[in-house]
Amino acid sequence: MSHPFQLDRRLVPFDPRQVPQYRFDVLVLGAGAAGAPAALAAARGGSTVAVITKGDLGEGNTRWAKGGVATVLAPEDSFDAHVQDTLRVGCGLCDPGVVERAVRGGPAALERLIELGAAFDRDANGEFVLSKEGGHSHPRIVHARGDATGVEIQSTLRGALEMSPEVRTFTDHFAIDLLTDAEGRVCGVLCATDRGERVAFAARSVILATGGAGQLYRETTNPDIATGDGLAMAFRAGAVVRDLEFVQFHPTCLYIAGAARVLISEIVRGAGAVLRDRHGVRFMQAHHEAAELAPRDVVSRAVFQRMVSTGDTSVYLDLSELDHDPHLAFPAVSRICSFFGIDIAKDPVPVRPGAHYMVGGLAVDAEGRTNVPGLFAVGECASTGLHGANRMGSNSLLEALVLGHDTGSAAAEEARGGDPVRPISDEGRLDSAPPAEVQVNLADLTYSLKSMMWRQMGVERDGPAMRDAMENLEFWSRAVEALPKNSPRAWELLNMLTVARLATLGALEREESRGVHHRTDFPALDLAGASHLELRPQGNARRLRAVDLVRTPARGVLPLA
């Protein structure tokens, strides 16, 4: 099935004679839990590596991770149990081989972090403190300082990058477009510095570890930089994306008017916190036998439906009956809530769902390769086959750490011994100024996009609302693309619109409810066979003209029990 999709291949023109160029063996875009291990692995393989980040080395989704790393360490647990839990939650779309590889690679990935200096919570005997999260049959979540795992991991990886002599870091560089050589191989990236200067980076291998696109939604746990830049950039360069309709919503985001949406980790519910409505009624037992520890899609829908039925703007997380002092167990949550006058030991904490994780992404093989030569992807921007139709809690850090390392090694091997690369010139698009009386408020349009996506592509969806959303997305895209795009805000908005259109296309095509994709007009799971939905860009070197929607059989088997 083909759908019209007009979009320039590049956001800005590129002439290699007019911008300075740096040359490396491997480029890594992103320095989080996926990008940093990829860069370190490539460096250990003998490659010269450049790590390029949109903001500071400490920014990104990793530092906001409140849960931990899911890995099998307890004697009563097993790799097989972790594999089966992941396959069950993935609703038939997981790749069993990838799941097995990620799960078995967990202990070694954790050990690599510890060797770099990361400190995880241990008991008096020196054993890891293991928590349980939704979908897991055993406690297997390793965390740091209760709910500060992301901060610990990010600071550790940042230090390792800064200490590695083979790695150079370039912070505050906005990646605008991927660059190609005469054969169409991706061989670099065009960036803008924080001073507005253009600079090009060339390499034999380029790894995208740019995270997701949570900023598509008004309610989100993601930082401001999560605008889907890597996904959109790669799609414009010809990369296939897969299953973008699967957006996971975290069920418990702190909801206080005017305050940033802060994720309250699943480990809080794992410790015994329960969800109640405005009348104090606990409601999760009616939705799933695991109650508050059901898979996240189940909890998010239950919370959303309870908000609608009670007419409230949130539900409430009750920590009052925990066996230990929640202030000591969850200091970060305690500090934030205390600022707003909430004592988590006795006061109900208002929460609601928020966009948390892009389950789909760039289609990659077992070593992170996309269909575009020279281009790799890993982490949230990639669709590796680990998560399927839903992500189990704390499997994302596991994926990033294990597959990030493996992808970095593969990219270094591919770059080794290759000929020097030379990005070719491309005049790109020619901006034409709109009529003087036409004014486009990018900030207002961005907010309109985020609000519409929350209403019409959110926790629950239906065909008429999504078709209406698609009309708006196409109209807004034409307007923004016609503008001169010479600022990060304009680049981000067009990237967000691109990813939003692709996700909505996929959601309209998938006429079933599976995992985190729930359609009220198609509430049943399609038992005829699980399939991935690939969106393949069509066009020429200058402009995309259409997207082909192609179903491919999934390798997994849907667990019916």
Catalytic residues: 296
Give 52-110 as a DSSP string: E-SS-TT-SSGGG--S-EE---STT--HHHHHHHHHHHTTT-S-HHHHHHHHHTHHHHH
75 CB-contact burial (10 Å; exposed 0-12 / middle 13-18 / buried 19+): exposed
Closest alpha carbon to 548 in 502, 498, 492, 480: 502
Under a CB-based contact definition with an 8 Å cutoff, are residues 99 and 93 in contact?
no
Q: Nearest 10 degrees: CA dihedral of 157, 160, 165, 171?
A: 40
Q: Nearest 10 degrees: CA dihedral of 80, 83, 87, 90?
A: 160
- Cα distance between residue 383 and residue 181, in whole Å: 26
Under a CB-based contact definition with an 8 Å cutoff, are residues 77 and 140 in contact?
yes
Using alpha carbons only, give the angle 75, 393, 306 rounded to the nearest 5 degrees.
Answer: 130
What separation in angstroms does the CA of 71 have from each of 35, 105, 143, 443, 468? Answer: 20, 9, 11, 41, 42
253: helix, strand or coil: strand
40: helix, strand or coil: helix
What separation in angstroms does the CA of 555 have from each of 211, 249, 391, 550? Answer: 25, 25, 17, 16
| Cβ neighbours of 244 (radius 10 Å) | 28
| Cβ neighbours of 197 (radius 10 Å) | 11
- Cα distance between residue 207 and residue 14, in whole Å: 21
Residues 6+ apart with CB under 8 A from 354: 217, 219, 220, 221, 249, 250, 253, 261, 263
- Cα distance between residue 393 and residue 77, in whole Å: 16
Q: Which amino acid is it at 435?
A: P
553 CB-contact burial (10 Å; exposed 0-12 / middle 13-18 / buried 19+): exposed
